[in-house]
Amino acid sequence: MEIVYNSPEILKIFSNLESVTENINRIAHDLNSGVKWNKELHEELVNYLNELRRMRDELKEYEVEFHADWDKIIAQAESLISRSSCEPLAEDEL
């Protein structure tokens, strides 16, 4: 059985989820391609992580059964932040 959501608020959350996960994937790809970790990347990733948590909580408020593995998605973003090879640069290195 397929459930269709036609609530503009819920559809906006799903649209934002796609955008946020694409941006997290872009950051991961950049880091794996040799882009240097910096303060801006760190802040961008933290903002996306906070947005994921907000969307997860908002969907719960709507009592939407969305079978994404929120914990896995959030853990992947957190792991990018905490990777030892991606330590934020000191201010004088920026």
- Segment 34-53, tens digit of pLDDT: 888 888 888 899 999 999 88
Looking at residue 3, what is its pLDDT?
54
2 domain residue, yes or no? no
Q: How many structural domains does the chain have?
A: 1
30 domain residue, yes or no? yes
93 domain residue, yes or no? no
Torsion of CA 13, 14, 17, 23, to 10 degrees: -120
76 domain residue, yes or no? yes
88 domain residue, yes or no? no
Query: For each of the chain's 94 residues, which pLDDT tens digit applies?
Result: 445 567 888 888 888 888 998 998 898 888 888 888 888 888 899 999 999 889 888 888 777 666 567 777 788 888 887 764 555 444 444 3
Task: Please state, rounded to an integer, the average pLDDT across all residues of the chain.
Answer: 77
Looking at residue 91, what is its pLDDT?
47
Q: Which residues contact 27 (CB under 8 A, 6 or more apart)?
A: 41, 44, 45, 48, 80
